[in-house]
Amino acid sequence: GPWGTKFPTVATMWRRQWQQVIPFFAYPPEVRTIIYTTNAIESLHMRLRKIVKNRGHFPSDDAATKLLFLALRNIEKDWKMPQRTWKLAANQFAIMFGERFTNAIN
């Protein structure tokens, strides 16, 4: 199809891993959007990695945990808006995973 012509590498990879791709489409569109919206996660990972790399070494695991906690607190201040479909997705997650989901977010 046209996508295979435009993105042959992606099409080949999807065909090769088709059994892992198909379950993704079983989720409602709101959930799929949350799953494939990884930019925020990648940004968070980059910022935490930068903090750890600049520090070099830690005298203990507790020291590293405290530094990451403080970093997360500062990073959280920069977050402006939640994913605009989060409420719809959260409802779907609650239906699919029930108490497991509601306990995790509370």
pLDDT digits 0-9 by tens, 12-36: 998 999 998 898 888 888 888 877 7
* 66 located within any domain: yes
pLDDT digits (tens, 9 = 90+) for 53-79: 888 788 999 998 999 988 888 887 777
Q: Which two tokens stand for residue 4?
A: 């295979």
- Residue 14 counted as domain residue: no
The answer to the question of residue 7 being in a domain is no
Q: Which domain holds residue 35?
A: 27-103
More reliable by pLDDT, 83 or 100: 100
Query: Which residue is it, tokens 């995790």?
Result: 104
Q: For the chain, how many structural domains are there in total?
A: 1
pLDDT for res 16: 94
Q: H helices within 18-98, ranges in order?
A: 18-21, 29-36, 39-55, 61-78, 86-97
Is residue 1 situated within a structural domain?
no
Within-domain flag for 5? no
Sign of CA dihedral 10, 16, 17, 19: positive
> Which tokens sit at 63?
């020291």
